[in-house]
Every structure is written in structure tokens, then in C-alpha cells.
Amino acid sequence: MHIDRTTFETRLKNLRGLMQKASVDYVLVPPGPNFFYLTGMITESMERLALFIIGSDVQEVVCPDLMKQQVLEESPVDEIKTWSDGDDPYDLVRRTLSKKGKIAVEGSVPYFHYEKMEKYIKGRAVSADPILEQMRIIKDHSELSSIGEAVARSEKALENSLPELKDSMTEKEFSRILENNFFEEDLSGPAFPSIVSFGRNAAMPHHSPDNTKLKPGDTIVIDYGGSYRGYASDSTRTFFWKKEDPEMHTILETVREANETVRKRATRNTKYSEMDSLARKIITDAGYGDKFIHRLGHGLGIQVHEPPFLVGTDTRTMIKNSVFTIEPGIYIAGKGGVRIEDTNYFDGERCISFNRMSRSSTIL
């Protein structure tokens, strides 16, 4: 069980408060990230209907019989309605939603489930996503602790993997070594497929590891993260193999300056969009503005990508206990690239990095 009853009840109380403000009577949440946030149970959506239904006087899980024991053992939920193959699970939902009122439906409900419920909720349905996003963007102490552990253990896994690098090792081979070491650090596994890029492949921010072999002079970009108690980390470090190219060294120093300056200058009055703008100005002033081809960062928690987003369109002022990446990068097609990424949180006064691994130029 990933959350205790006190956390469970606190989150439901907060949810009901937001529901009342939005004049919402019910919230429907399918298995997935929001289901985990509210119940502490890790499970994925499937063809069999499962929903967590929250109302002013109801907090029940509708699920197939085969899932009942798992709900009882892995969550604090004790109000469960089950159905067997051959039953109509949508009728169970209809009976729970019999009271008139607005129904907020979480956006990841599969359409084949939604269309079976639509006749019961037609004209009453709205999106639950703004309500749930408002809750999840503010991390509590246990969430910050889990993310911090995910970062620390992932960094240890990388530190233990780097000595295994050798000439002619492929990106795929190193990726396997790194991800095996996640398990050695008691992580539940990678939070996302690791990005390992050698040489010119580092010019592609989302390159998938292939059979490219490591050779002297290569830039090495490693974007990695593990999952701990259901929460992700996301970090990137750039290294040089045996020797460094002078231009790539200059690029790394520019990226490092952007990363560190943005974090140091963040205050309670800073907007997420302004963080992106500042990093972009530093990189543009260095002559590489058109080579910084993605947003500065993204929120992180249960999901690797979630609000807030460090991009020009996210004009919210920084939210206390929000967690996000800062990951400036410069990419030179045909040559390589540099990205330096940390997982950070805002404590209400300043931006703090969970990461401890050096961002400085390092020749391996």
C-alpha cells in the first residue's frame, strides 16, 4: 500500500472541496496516475471496466471480481462494487450516479467505456482534469521524499554504471547496464526508456539507443530516471569520452550556465514562462539560440511529464512544492549535442535541485 488512510482521507477531503467550488457532484477516475494518486494502488486501464467514483457521500471502486482482493490489500478503499463476466458493469455505475448533478470524467477513460456510460451521463459530463491537476501539482511531504529518493538512487545507478563504459561499447549495451543497476538500487525500474546517445546521435534529444559504438572524442548524453514508490525522477548528464571537442566544451559551459542561472534566480514572483525565457536568452546570447529546440522543462511526479511546463505559454507564478525539470540543451546536427537536466522543486522561496551529481565538464 503506497498511501496510508490519513493521506487517503486528506486527498479525498481536498478533492471534495475542489468539487464543491466547481459545482461538481461526482468524479470518475479510471486506473492510471490519478487512480494511484487517490488510492495508492498502481494499476493500468483495461478492457474490463474499473472506476473510482467520488461524490459528496460516496467513495467506491467499481471493478471486476478478479480485482477486488487487490483493491482491499493495496489501497485504503473499503467500498467496492464488483461484477462478473456476463454482468453489466455500466449499470453499477448508473446506480451510483442516480442522483442528479454534474459528473466530472477523467480524460483517460477509454472511449469504449465512455460510450457505454454516455446515456447515463449525457448533458451532465465535464472534464475532471483541471480539478485533479490542481491537486497533483502541489506535492506533499511524502511525494517530495519519494521523488528525492528516486533521484538519489538513479544517480547512484548511473555512477555505478559509468565505470563499465569502454571503447566500442554500443548505446544499447550501456542502456542495459544502467537499467539493471536501477534494480540494484531498489528502484522498481526505469521511469521511462533511458536515452543513451554517443557522438552525432546526441544531436537528437529523444534518440533511442541503438548499435552505435563509443569512440574517443564522442560526446555522451545520458537521459535517465528510475521509479520509486510510484514516483519518477528525470535527469540528464553529458560527458566526453577520453577527450573533448573544444566547441562541445564551450556548448556544455553555456548549457550549464543556463541550467544553474535559471534555478538561482527563481523567486516566488517568477513565472514558469520566465524561466524558459531566461535560459533561452543565455543560450541565444552565446550564439546558439536556434539550436535550443525544446522547452526548458516539465513537471514531474507520478508521471514523467505533467504540469507545470517551463515554456512560454505557462504564465503561472511558481507554485510552492511544484516539482519540475530544468533541462536546457544545444544540438548541432551531424556533430552532437549537450543537455544538462535536474529534477527540482520550489519551496516557496527558491528553486532547489534534488540532484547532487556534478554538471561540470567531465572526461571519462
Could you report the per-residue pLDDT of 158-182, keeping only the tens digit for each?
999 999 999 999 999 999 999 999 9
Average pLDDT for 14-43: 97
Give me the count of residues in the chain.
364
Per-residue pLDDT band for 1 (boundaries 50, 70, 90) equals: low
For residue 82, tell me if it sits in a domain: yes
pLDDT at position 351 over 70: yes
Residue 136 has pLDDT above 90, yes or no: yes
Residue 275 contacts residue 259 (beta carbons within 8 Å): no
223 phi, psi to nearest 5 deg: -110, 115
Asked if residue 311 has pLDDT above 90, the reply is: yes
Do 175 and 118 have their domain in common?
Answer: no
Confidence class for position 243, pLDDT limits 50, 70, 90: very high
Q: How far apart are CA 248 and CA 259, in angstroms?
A: 16
Number of domains present in the structure of the chain: 2
In a domain, 364, yes or no: no
Kindly calculate the radius of gyration of the chain based on its CA atoms and give it in whole angstroms.
Answer: 23
Average pLDDT of span 108-134: 94
The domain that holds 148 is classified in CATH as 3.90.230.10
- Residue where one domain finishes, among candidates 136, 164, 187: 136
Write the pLDDT tens digit of every residue in 321-338. 999 999 999 999 999 999
124 and 248 within one domain: no
Do residues 151 and 120 share a domain? no
Task: Give percent above pLDDT 70 in the chain.
Answer: 100
pLDDT, averaged across the chain: 96
Are residues 39 and 153 both part of a single domain? no
184 assigned to some structural domain:
yes
Query: Is the domain of 23 the same as that of 47?
Result: yes
Is 243 inside any structural domain?
A: yes
Statement to judge: residues 117 and 211 lie in one domain: no
Q: What is the pLDDT of residues 254-304, one digit of tens each?
A: 999 999 999 999 999 999 999 999 999 999 999 999 999 999 999 999 999
Confidence of residue 44 (pLDDT cuts 50, 70, 90): confident
167 and 86 housed in the same domain? no
Residues 101 and 244 in one domain: no
- With respect to residue 195, please indicate whether it lies within any of the assigned structural domains: yes
Residue 124 sits in the same domain as residue 146: no
The reply to whether 91 and 191 lie within a common domain is no
Are 260 and 225 in the same domain?
A: yes
In sequence order, the 6+-apart residues with CB closer than 8 A to the CB of 271 are 314, 315, 316, 317, 318
What's residue 100's pLDDT? 84
pLDDT of residue 108 exceeding 70, the answer is yes
Query: What CATH number should be reported for the domain holding residue 104?
Result: 3.40.350.10
Average pLDDT over residues 181-189: 97
In a domain, 361, yes or no: no
Residue 315 has pLDDT above 70, yes or no: yes
Whole-angstrom distance, CA of residue 224 vs CA of residue 189 = 11
Write down the pLDDT at residue 52: 98
In this model, does residue 219 exceed pLDDT 90? yes
- pTM tops 0.75, yes or no: yes
- 198 belongs to a structural domain: yes
Residues 45 and 88 in one domain: yes
The range of the structural domain enclosing residue 290 comes to 141-353
Domain stops at, among 107, 136, 165:
136
**Residue 98: which pLDDT band, with cuts at 50, 70 and 90?**
confident
- Name residue 332's beta-bridge partners: 336
Residue ending a domain, choose from 136, 166, 190: 136
In a domain, 358, yes or no: no
Q: Which one, of 201, 155, 160, lies nearest residue 177 by Cα?
A: 160
Q: Bigger pLDDT: 7 or 100?
A: 7
